Amino acid sequence: MSTLIGGKRVLVTAGGSGIGRAIVDRFIAAGAHVHTCDVQKDFLKEVVSTNERVTASLADVGVPGEVETLVADAVDAMGGVDVLINNAGIGGPTAALEDISYADWDRTIGVNLNGMFYCIKNVAPHMKAQESGCIVNISTASAKVALPQRSPYVASKVGVLGLTHTVAREYGPFGIRCNAILPGLIDNERGRGIVARQAVERGISVDEREAEFLEFISLKCWIDPAEVGDLAVFLASDAGRHITAQEIGMDGNVEWEI
């Protein structure tokens, strides 16, 4: 069965760069119409310039009112929403739990988990009315193994998995599916930057830190952001029509993180 989804109306959060941009690009390549958002105007200007089937809104998904406007903009631009890709997220602080500020904890949960709730809350009525829809939530491989010094990030992304299962059960009778993708070590500027920064912090070479990461990945691989986009397209296509409530790793099997 074809994974092309020409004509579907897709809302992608944080689609201006990184994994989000790759997701936008893969949906456009599959023939979809895409409305996206970001917090940086320059990113939005660039992504909109790439194709006439891309529209965008400046929005912070951690702010409920901005999400309400975002969804209204998407419906106005595309006539509805068939697919929601909840991609927006932040890394949050790196520190011992007792040293994390209340504000940093709240902001990380607010964007990574609450933001997905806000988006689903506002998109769900449109999907229920048409009795169909696909929601894909981007979590992380770290949700499987935990990660010291990153408690707000991991807690938020584990919360995403609980939200995914609950939405799948609650909205399945309306023909709405919900799955989570768990990316691993992403081969882009941000991913490479994390490895380089941690190498400096640990007083080792970048190659040594990369080897430490890859030691505990079964396939010893980095992940191209486009692979995450292709998986999202598959889940939204007719080929994925009976897939729901799943946590799907796009990570080469991350066994552990140090």
95: Cα within 13 Å, side-chain hemisphere: 10
Asked if residue 80 is part of any domain, the answer here is: yes
**Can you tell me the distance from the alpha carbon of 227 to that of 148, in angstroms, rounded to the nearest whole number?**
27
Let me know if residue 202 belongs to a domain: no
Does 203 reside within a domain? no
Sign of the Cα pseudo-torsion (76, 77, 79, 85, in order) = negative
- What mean pLDDT comes out for the span 128-137? 98
pLDDT at 226: 98
Query: What gap in Å lies between CA 235 and CA 88, rounded to an integer?
Result: 18
CATH number at residue 57: 3.40.50.720
pLDDT (tens digit per residue) in 182-228: 999 999 999 999 999 999 999 999 999 999 999 999 999 999 999 99
31-61 pLDDT per residue, tens = 999 999 999 999 999 999 999 999 999 999 9
C-alpha distances in Å from residue 172, one per residue of 83, 118, 128: 14, 19, 10
Buried b or exposed e, range 100-133, using 16+ CB within 10 angstroms:
beeeebebbbbbbbbbbbbbbebbbebbeeeeeb
74-123 pLDDT per residue, tens:
999 999 999 999 999 999 999 999 999 999 999 999 999 999 999 999 99
pLDDT tens for 143-158 read 999 999 999 999 999 9
Return the pLDDT at 16.
97
Supply the pLDDT for residue 4.
72
Query: In 3D, which of 104, 100, 95, 83 has the Cα closest to residue 175?
Result: 83
Confidence of residue 258 (pLDDT cuts 50, 70, 90): confident
**Is the pLDDT assigned to residue 1 strictly greater than 50?**
no
Residue 65 lies in a domain: yes
- Check residue 208 and give its pLDDT: 98
- Between the alpha carbon of residue 142 and those of residues 41, 152, 205, 224, the distances in Å are 30, 12, 23, 17
* Domain presence at residue 3: no
Token pair listed for 159: 């919360």
Known catalytic membership, residue 153: yes
Secondary structure tally for the chain: helices H, strands E: 10, 7
Q: How far apart are CA 258 and CA 148, in angstroms?
A: 8
Q: Is residue 118 part of a domain?
A: yes
In a domain, 206, yes or no: no
Q: What is the mean pLDDT of the chain?
A: 97
Q: pTM for this one?
A: 0.97
For the chain, the domain total comes to 1
* Domain assignment of residue 233, given as a range: 9-186+223-250
213 occurs within a structural domain: no
Catalytic-labelled residue, pool 102, 118, 153, 171: 153
Closest alpha carbon to 137 in 7, 9, 245, 8: 245
pLDDT in tens, 55-85: 999 999 999 999 999 999 999 999 999 999 9
